[in-house]
Amino acid sequence: MATRVRTLIIAVTVPAALLAPAGTVIHATKPHQPKPPRRPPRAIPATKPRPPRPPWRPPPGAPATAAWRFHWGKPVASDDFRARRLDRRAWEIYDGPGQGGKGRRSPRAVSVRKGVLTLTGRPNGMTGGAAWKRGSQRTGRWEARVRMSRSCASYHPVLLLWPTRARGGVAPKGGGGEVDWLEVADNGTRQKAEFFLHYGPTRKDRRIAGQVHVDLTRWHAFAVEWTSTWVSGFVDGRRWFHTTRRYALPRGRMGQTIQLDWFPEDARRTARGIKGNAPATLQVDWIRMYRR
């Protein structure tokens, strides 16, 4: 007996607008997936400010001097003050009116004892000063180890370079400049040193200045370096003053002097606790000169 198989055909009508033209390739599309959230930007750590460099200190056993640190070599002149008195062949001791015609510079204010040169200032305005005959040259380096006492503010200890052809006075006659590579003009506590580079004519003297805080009642090595392009000041091998202004640099040979000047009008600035009638002293352990 034969079995009949019926076929059911279902016709589906699709609108023509939904039919793709002949020859069109239809690609399957992936279902839309939401984008993952963006990661927050990485936080950039704040940069820490660099700590200031500590003051330069020499290795144990080495001298705290600019000459040692910067390899200035052998000095061309030096004085360690080992004799009983200041060598008159090497030094000219002042004997005459004081700074600005006030007071008097006397050889009695200059003494040497136990390897230390001492300039002493008295309440009556008598002070001391000396010019180093061997300390003259055109550009160069000088260094000295010094200390001073707390005293009336009227006393100004000074280490300076002065034109060799100029006479005494407040400023070099005829110009020529002046390099005060250590001057102390404070309230008598001796806690601040100043550098003054003077230039220009006598009547219109100008200056470039700098200062450093240091306890000058203790021994310190101060130095100056003078070249054709700059002037620098140092304390214990550390530079604290520098200028490259060529128009302010000295024009000729300079000589080295050590002075304790008297400015009586500054006595009113003296700090409390300092006796105004106590003697003032500027002491020098050694002084050296180098070529440049």
Do 121 and 188 contact (CB within 8 A), yes or no? no
3-state secondary structure of 66: helix
Q: Which of 133, 139, 141, 248 is nearest to 197 (CA)?
A: 248
Q: Which of 249, 256, 264 is nearest to 287 (CA)?
A: 256
115 pLDDT more than 50: yes
Q: Domains of the chain (ranges plus CATH)?
A: 66-219+246-266 (2.60.120.200)
- Model confidence over 167-194: pLDDT tens digits? 555 455 555 789 999 999 999 999 999 9
CA angle 137, 192, 210 (to 5 degrees): 55
pTM beyond 0.75, yes or no = yes
Span 273-277, average pLDDT: 87
- Model confidence over 67-113: pLDDT tens digits? 999 999 999 999 999 999 999 999 999 999 998 899 999 999 999 99
The tokens describing 207, both together, are 């200056």
As a whole number of angstroms, the distance between CA 280 and CA 261 comes to 10
- Model confidence over 15-45: pLDDT tens digits? 544 444 544 444 445 556 666 666 666 656 6
Span 272-287, average pLDDT: 93
Bridge partners, 97 (sequence order)? 104
Mean pLDDT of the chain: 85
Confidence class for position 290, pLDDT limits 50, 70, 90: very high
Torsion of CA 143, 189, 116, 232, to 10 degrees: 0
Do 141 and 223 contact (CB within 8 A), yes or no? yes
Confidence class for position 164, pLDDT limits 50, 70, 90: confident
